Structure 1
Amino acid sequence: MATIVYPPTINFSWLFQRPQQILSRMATKNYTVYYLNKTYDANYKRGITELKENLYLVNGVGIGSIKLREIPILWISYPPNYSYVKMFKKKYVIFDSIDYPSDEFSEWRFNFEEVQKAANIIFASSRKLYNINKRVNNKTFLLPNGADFKHFNKAERIFSKRPPDLPEGKPIVGYIGALATWIDWDIVDYASLACPEYNFVYIGPNLNMKKLPKRDNIFYLGEKKYSMLPEYLQFFDICIIPFKVTSMTEGADPIKMYEYLSAGKPVVSSNLPSILRCEGIYTANGKAEFANMIKEALENYDDQKRKRLVDIARENSWEKRAEYADRIIRYYLI
């Protein structure tokens, strides 16, 4: 088949985001995938390790350690990695455009236009990114984020013991993801005050926040292993995406939305363009409406809505995304 090389952007074991998810699926479609870690990870041996069939981790060594037998496909999601394009005389380039280069992602502007023009194919994770890339490169295709459906669907029912650090006594409003400046912390604080009958649980690493809201019903549980996330999600009653609405987040397609839906959980989100518009997903303008919709989401939730949300997630799985990417690559490149 073909060989995909993913230059160092994020370590394979960190948070398991779009690059890890979709490239793992491409390996199941008979692509040979080389995923380069950004930094050395002591949990893996130095060198090239086969993680599963056709999927190789390049850890602590450079891209030159890969022995290529065919013209590679450079799969680039971080525009400054355009420098890797120049290392190969013959190559195909896929630009996986996943974040709008502004605000917290302003450094992604560097080489953004260069990688747009160099790409044989551009995949865009949101409609906003699709539009800005399509103006430059006609081989641009909308490829939204997706769900690791089998992994998170376990949380549709209670399947294991309650984690000991989860608060008890009240319904749980839960968030899984990075604690960062793109979260609207005014919403977080206001919702906890307006909804004292709920516990608010936040799971994820603190990326860049020096100060977080503190209330009796707010619980920060820190980063958890990816394998453990369904064990927490199963006990969430409502899931939230309390993002600021900015030029950056307007180009985002939150992966957590698909993960929440896989478990059949009702979702309350800030009013972002990529949030799916369907029954069981609530979008709010402002903190007061956000708090009200948390209450409405729980009051109006039933088995029929749960099943509908799970069906939506199933149709938006990473497997479905990889199938589409594979069709595009086969038609235009190989």
Structure 2
Amino acid sequence: MSWAGPFQYDLGKSRTSNAGAAPAPDVQYAPDAPILLCLSHLRWSFVYQRPQHLMARFARDYPVLFFEEPIASDEPRPWLESRREEGGVEVLVPRLPHGWAGREAEQAQRELLDGFLAERGRERLILWYYTPMSLAFTDHLKADAVVYDCMDELSAFRGAPPELVTRERELLARADLVFTGGYSLYEAKRELHANAHPFPSSVDIAHFGAARDPQPDPADQASIGRPRLGFYGVIDERFDVELLAAVAERRPDWQFVMIGPVVKIDPASLPQRPNVHFLGGKVYDELPQYLAGWDVALMPFALNESTRFISPTKTPEYLAGGCPVVSTPITDVVRTYGDSGVVRIAGSADEFVGACEAALRDAADRDRLLRTADAVLADMSWDTTWAQMKEKIECAMN
């Protein structure tokens, strides 16, 4: 199905954020600077993570468009919502009539995007993919460089479309560069692409370092007793619900603070205990305040297909905040932090309890904890990651 214009744009309200990248909404770009079109399965306003850190920094040099997956609309025709975010990043959200799917939805997104790019008038383009599924409506676009930033093995996630593997193969054949979110992913993708590079999770040290200083305890955490063992992140199929329940049962005197949206799992499956507190999602700027009130930070990830290749961003964030960490044996966590002395690894519930007891002792020796954490974080920053990626992209364009 095809439909006639005109294209419609709705400029929404911006979210304010202090995420470490210098805001530059009025930056003047070079006349020949290419547009960086980022195609994402993650929404900008969902959880502040790798895409937001990188795109806010790339917006210093390129006009950045962050194209999200479509949302159903009550309007009879497709339209494109546009809003400005941090650093001048422009977030684009296709709004499609209810029931539109498949080829109809792909064609609508193609026409919306083509119309928007035509209005911008810039001929040069960098295509940056987080989801291979976006290839369905962008495979006709000519680009100076095509980047596939593979931050997760999406095909292993619950609800992944069956055609995702095929689409990824197509994207790998077209991409000039492949970046991966960790070393395990790199080892898998380097067999499929000759120009693959590992870029594990980085950290905004200044942002999370605020948690090392006294912070006002957020209202929904202030009444929770100590010791506090906390987690923030998306609570989904990667989260080991059974492990949390078992550890909380073994240590009813410990308080477990869980922060983040519950996605793709039944909230009723979460442990219902007086010492387990689910506080819901929080914005990025609030996280240091919560982290400052924890004694130990947790990463109770399940060991399954969805976590086989993950390299959690929260590991260095927890350490930047001055909090010792206890994690299940995720491959990239073990290989990067297993010998650090501030990240303890445990598999079973009994081992996890023991590791948390040791982490509480680590927290008591604060000077050693902070010195060790700083040594681990010495070479990590999103600015460094961004600069290295930018250099590789510029080489690919020359």
With structure 1 as the length reference, what TM-score do the two structures score? 0.91
Letter in 2 for 1:104: R
Other-structure match for 1:73: 126
- Measured against aligned partners, the alpha-carbon deviations of 1:9-47 in whole angstroms (never above 9, x if no partner) come to 22211111211111111223x1221112334699xxx75
Other-structure match for 2:220: 165
- Measured against aligned partners, the alpha-carbon deviations of 1:99-134 in whole angstroms (never above 9, x if no partner) come to 112142643434111111110000011222112211
Shift of 1:75: 0.3
Aligned residues of 1:196 and 1:217 also touching (Cα < 8 A) = yes
Other-structure match for 1:18: 50
Aligned residues of 1:182 and 1:244 also touching (Cα < 8 A) = yes
**What is the rounded CA distance, in whole Å, between the counterparts of 2:128 and 2:72 in structure 1?**
21
1:117 counterpart = 2:173:
yes
The aligned length equals 330
Question: What secondary structure, in the 3-state scheme, does the structure 2 residue paired with 1:315 have?
Answer: coil
Other-structure match for 1:63: 113
User: In structure 1, which of residues 298, 301, 305 is the aligned counterpart of residue 360 of structure 2?
Assistant: 298
Q: Assess, with a 3 A threshold, how the Cα gap between structure 1 residues 254 and 8 changes in structure 2: closer, same or farther.
A: closer
Q: Assess, with a 3 A threshold, how the Cα gap between structure 1 residues 175 and 48 changes in structure 2: closer, same or farther.
A: same
Question: What fraction of aligned residue pairs are identical, expressed as a percent?
Answer: 24
Question: What secondary structure, in the 3-state scheme, does the structure 1 residue paired with 2:36 have?
Answer: strand
Aligned residues of 2:65 and 2:91 also touching (Cα < 8 A) = yes
1:332 counterpart = 2:396:
yes
Letter in 2 for 1:93: V
User: In structure 2, which of residues 234, 252, 255 is the aligned counterpart of residue 178 of structure 1?
Assistant: 234
**What is the rounded CA distance, in whole Å, between the counterparts of 1:329 and 1:284 in structure 2?**
39
Question: What secondary structure, in the 3-state scheme, does the structure 2 residue paired with 1:188 have?
Answer: helix
**What is the rounded CA distance, in whole Å, between the counterparts of 2:220 and 2:157 in structure 1?**
34
Shift of 1:329: 1.1
- Measured against aligned partners, the alpha-carbon deviations of 1:255-298 in whole angstroms (never above 9, x if no partner) come to 11122122021010010111132110011122211111001111
**What is the rounded CA distance, in whole Å, between the counterparts of 1:143 and 1:55 in structure 2?**
22
1:85-234 alignment runs, 5 A limit: 85-100=138-153, 101-104=155-158, 106-107=160-161, 108-159=164-215, 161-166=216-221, 167-210=223-266, 211-234=269-292
Letter in 2 for 1:163: P
Letter in 2 for 1:74: L
Q: Assess, with a 3 A threshold, how the Cα gap between structure 1 residues 156 and 110 changes in structure 2: closer, same or farther.
A: farther
Higher relative contact order (CA 8 A, sep 6+): 1
Shift of 1:53: 4.7
Question: What secondary structure, in the 3-state scheme, does the structure 2 residue paired with 1:245 have?
Answer: coil
Other-structure match for 2:62: 31
Q: Assess, with a 3 A threshold, how the Cα gap between structure 1 residues 118 and 153 changes in structure 2: closer, same or farther.
A: same
Q: Assess, with a 3 A threshold, how the Cα gap between structure 1 residues 60 and 136 changes in structure 2: closer, same or farther.
A: closer
Shift of 1:333: 2.1
Aligned residues of 1:99 and 1:105 also touching (Cα < 8 A) = no
1:245 counterpart = 2:277:
no
Letter in 2 for 1:81: S
Q: Assess, with a 3 A threshold, how the Cα gap between structure 1 residues 84 and 315 changes in structure 2: closer, same or farther.
A: farther
Q: Assess, with a 3 A threshold, how the Cα gap between structure 1 residues 105 and 68 changes in structure 2: closer, same or farther.
A: farther
Other-structure match for 2:327: 269
Larger Rg: 2
Tell which deviates more after alignment, 305-314 or 168-177.
Answer: 305-314
Question: What secondary structure, in the 3-state scheme, does the structure 1 residue paired with 2:158 have?
Answer: helix
Letter in 1 for 2:327: S
**What is the rounded CA distance, in whole Å, between the counterparts of 2:94 and 2:176 in structure 1?**
29
Question: What secondary structure, in the 3-state scheme, does the structure 2 residue paired with 1:200 have?
Answer: strand
Aligned residues of 1:270 and 1:283 also touching (Cα < 8 A) = yes
CA RMSD, aligned part only?
Answer: 2.3
Shift of 1:198: 1.3
Question: What secondary structure, in the 3-state scheme, does the structure 2 residue paired with 1:251 have?
Answer: coil
Aligned residues of 1:190 and 1:291 also touching (Cα < 8 A) = no
Aligned residues of 2:255 and 2:275 also touching (Cα < 8 A) = yes
Q: Assess, with a 3 A threshold, how the Cα gap between structure 1 residues 200 and 52 changes in structure 2: closer, same or farther.
A: closer
